Structure 1
Amino acid sequence: MAVDGVAVTAEGLGLKGPRGWAFRGIDLTAEPGALIAVEGPSGSGRTSLLLALTGRMKATEGTATVGGARLPKQLAAVRRFSAPAHVAGLTDLDPALTVGEHLRERALLQRRFGDSVRALLRPREERTAEARLRIDTALAAAGLDREALPKGARTAVRDLERPEALRLSIALALIGRPRLLAVDDLDLKLSDAERVEAWAQLGSLAAAGTTVLAVCSEAPEGAVKVSTRPEPEQDTRTETGKEATDAFTATGRA
């Protein structure tokens, strides 16, 4: 899945909310196609930083440049070429829907709202074939094999194992062919073997050109590491994933 990734830089980036700093003093330099690991304990502002760098939250201090777009001024521009995955309260999967239903719904939304007007005017057969190709390519890139699921594409989300649900969320984000993929809580409740496999999958995406940003408790070797661990004297607040996603609504949609 070859995609032209984006460079990501930040200097003194910070976000302050009603209860204090979510994160502060973030410096980052990453080339296009980099694998960026946002490392820190839960509640240290990792999700807020992910949402800020994808244009879903507005930083209150410092600056960042993502794919040539300046933050916090050009939030909409960054949202157009970035996609979040596995973010609680923002990209939640519907447990009652099947894997196939999720994929078809996302492909339809992409066709209606993400493609050009010219693409919408193509013959129906071409649009259907393009949607099928997008889905197959995204699944392969995310490492999700529909045929290996208990009921194939008819498997309900509630019946997925955690690694499979993670891969589905990533695949849904990849249908839009983002230049920046941002994955929250990558290693949450994964075994050591599952964690290694998840990082390997994201590494292959980055190697193919997509810039990947992933929130984790411990960054792997070879990743561009960004820490949200607060300094002892730094005034920070504990921010839950819900608080972070509530705040994102003030700046834009997923």
Structure 2
Amino acid sequence: MIGVGVVVVEARGLGLRTSRGWVFRGVDLAVNAGELHAIVGAPGSGRTSLLLALANRFPTSEGQLELRAAAALGQVAGVHEPDPELTVAEHISERLSLLGRRVDRAGPTALRPGAAGELPAAELADAAGAGAGAGAGAEVEVEGQAGGRGGPDRRSTGRRGFFGCGAVGGRRVGRRRSPRQGRRDAVAAVIEGAGLGTDVPLDPASRGRDLTPVQRQILGLVLATLAGPGLILADDIDAGADGADRALLWDLIGRLTDRGIAVVVTAREVEAHSPSIVHRLGPPETAVVVGAAADQDTEVNR
């Protein structure tokens, strides 16, 4: 974990010019570990382009950018967003697979998470992989079931469910679990292990096309945490969200920064209670300078 106060990304005089003129220009911005920065502006102000540039995912025309930690994108419409056909559980399983994580045979009940955010990445991977794959023939070992049925080393396939292990009279016993419940447990373990808590409104069986705007943002944050980044960036955090949804999103982002992760988001406006450093962008043609060096364009909500 990067220490709080350590700069994870810094821009100096950053600018982007196209054939139509400046998209943004003269950006001086430093983001420390554990900080939340919000780039605020109307549509067309260049906020998405700046966000992607800070993630080193978009070319710039002038200035310097130093990215000193692994960066991960959350939801960025049209660039990095949920697949409409995949479920929440499948998104998590696929992302873990892309990260090269092994799908373990142990179900999510074998997980023993500590405090929020302290679950090792490998255990997160095993939990989500097992939950998503248990209903597809995953093999799970069952030892000494209660009532004398079955014995040590008896095995069962997970085609109709898999077994979580508990203890009765000092012996480990098998408890039949449905694949659906297994997926729910695995997804819940990943979310809790990521430091987002247990009150996240994500149904593992929901497909990308059926997610609400706030659920798409939350899934983006969850997926971003899986690579263990020092910096997470998400676009249009308040798009399509009502007051309650916006409050939930800012709260969840705050939980990530409490873990020491730096977060940069774009938004039309920022909730008054959000402890964010706000950078306001004007129309592109004004070439507004943002950052700590321009006090008139930067404010801090505390």
Question: Could you state the TM-score of these two structures normalised by the residue count of structure 1?
Answer: 0.72
1:182 matches 2:233: yes
TM-superposed deviation, 1:190: 0.7
Shift of 1:224: 1.7
Residue number in structure 2 paired with 1:61: 62
More off after superposition, 180-189 vs 219-228:
219-228
- Change beyond 3 A, Cα 1:20–1:210: same
Measure the CA separation in 2 of the matches of 1:189 and 1:229.
22
Identity over the aligned pairs, expressed in percent? 34
2:246 to 175, 188, 195: 195
What is the distance in 1 between the residues matched to 2:285 and 2:205? 50
Aligned counterpart, 2:14: 13
- Displacement, 1:110? 1.0
Change (3 A) 1:22 1:231: closer
Which range is displaced more, 134-143 or 40-49? 134-143
Does the Cα contact within 8 Å between 2:37 and 2:278 map onto a contact in 1? yes
Structure 1 gaps of 5+ residues are: 68-77, 113-119, 236-254
1:139 equivalent in alignment to 2:128 = no
Q: Deviations over 1:77-133 (max 9, x none)?
A: x6xx10111111221211221111111101100126xxxxxxx7xx95589855135
SS of 2:28's equivalent?
Answer: strand
Residue 168 of structure 1 is matched in structure 2 by: 219
Equivalent residue for 2:262? Answer: 211
Q: Aligned equivalents of 2:280 and 2:230: distance in 1?
A: 23
1:87 corresponds to which letter in structure 2? Answer: V
2:25 matched residue in structure 1: 24
Q: Which has the higher contact order (CA 8 A, sep 6+)?
A: 1
After superposition, the CA RMSD in angstroms is: 2.9
Larger fraction in strand: 2
Q: Residue type matched to 2:217 in 1?
A: L
State the alpha-carbon separation in 2 of the partners of residues 211 and 137 from structure 1.
22
1:137-192 Cα offsets, whole Å, 9 max, x none, are 6523345767x65xx42222222222222111111111111110001110111111
C-alpha distance in structure 1 between counterparts of 2:232 and 2:224, whole Å: 7
Query: Does 1:96 pair with 2:75?
Result: no
Unaligned runs of 5+ in 2: 107-120, 129-186, 289-302
More helix, by proportion: 1
Q: 2:280 aligns with which of 204, 227, 231?
A: 227
Distance 1:202 1:138, change over 3 A: farther
Taking a change above 3 Å as real, the CA distance of residues 198 and 101 of structure 1, as seen in their structure-2 partners, is same
Pick the structure with greater CA Rg: 2
> What's the secondary structure of 2:100's corresponding residue?
helix
Deviation digits for residues 37-83 of structure 1, max 9, x if unmatched? 1111111111111111111012211223232xxxxxxxxxx6xx101
